[in-house]
Amino acid sequence: MEIYVLRLGHRPKRDKRISTHVALTARAFGACGIYFDVNDEKLFESINDVCKRWGKNNGRCEFFIKTCNWRNMLKNFDGLKIHLTMYGMPLNEKLYEVKKHKKILVIVGAEKVPSEVYQLSDLNISIGNQPHSEVAALAIFLDRVLDEEEFKINFLDAKIQVKPTEKGKKLIKLQNSPQD
């Protein structure tokens, strides 16, 4: 399954931290890439730097970050378009339908989402009907749709990796990684 994320309404001065977290979550939890409707070179550099060190090839696809015109993307995307919104249908009621698709675009907003997005989306899905973070919604969505496969991802081109420990922190440099 190929899953892409569309981040709508990113405001570079106001949303840089949360948008960075949306992109990091998309990458770590198995999405193939993320599109922004606004170009933010600093944010893009930051995400690309993470990809260089921690890997971008998850075995199914190589993660990317790009800008796009959101209207054109929603009109021309050749897969299932899902808008994550607290006003949508519960994910549990639509999960079977979602999993039948091979290619999915997940839309997450930053500011007020234009009503056109609700109409252009194939499904408006909620994780919960209370105000919550788009990062949380995206993480839960990817976890449920990919059946926890994101936790089994080994990025094939990673230079470093976490070695799980009960206490403390340990990173290992991978032998197959090129020297910096």
Q: Is residue 92 in a domain? A: yes
- What residues make up the domain containing 142? 2-173
Q: Is residue 179 in a domain? A: no
CATH number at residue 36: 3.40.1280.10
Count the helix, strand and coil residues of the chain and give each as a percent rounded to the nearest 5. 40, 25, 35
Q: What are residue 112's DSSP bridge partners? A: none
Residue 122 φ/ψ, nearest 5 degrees: -75, -40
Q: Is residue 83 in a domain? A: yes
3-class SS of residue 110: coil
The pLDDT tens digits for 1-19 are: 999 999 998 888 888 899 9
- Of 77, 75, 48, nearest to 64 (Cα)? 48
Burial of 126 (0-12, 13-18, 19+ CB in 10 A): buried
| Token output for 57 | 């090839």
Quickly list H helices, 29-61. 41-54
Full-model pTM: 0.91
Q: Is residue 37 in a domain? A: yes
Domain count, the chain: 1
The pLDDT tens digits for 66-120 are: 999 999 999 999 999 999 999 999 999 999 999 999 999 999 998 889 999 999 9
Q: Is residue 140 in a domain? A: yes
| Token output for 114 | 């234009």
Q: Is residue 178 in a domain? A: no
Q: Is residue 30 in a domain? A: yes
Q: Is residue 137 in a domain? A: yes
Contact 105, 98 (CB under 8 A): no
The pLDDT tens digits for 143-179 are: 999 986 656 677 889 899 888 899 999 988 987 555 4
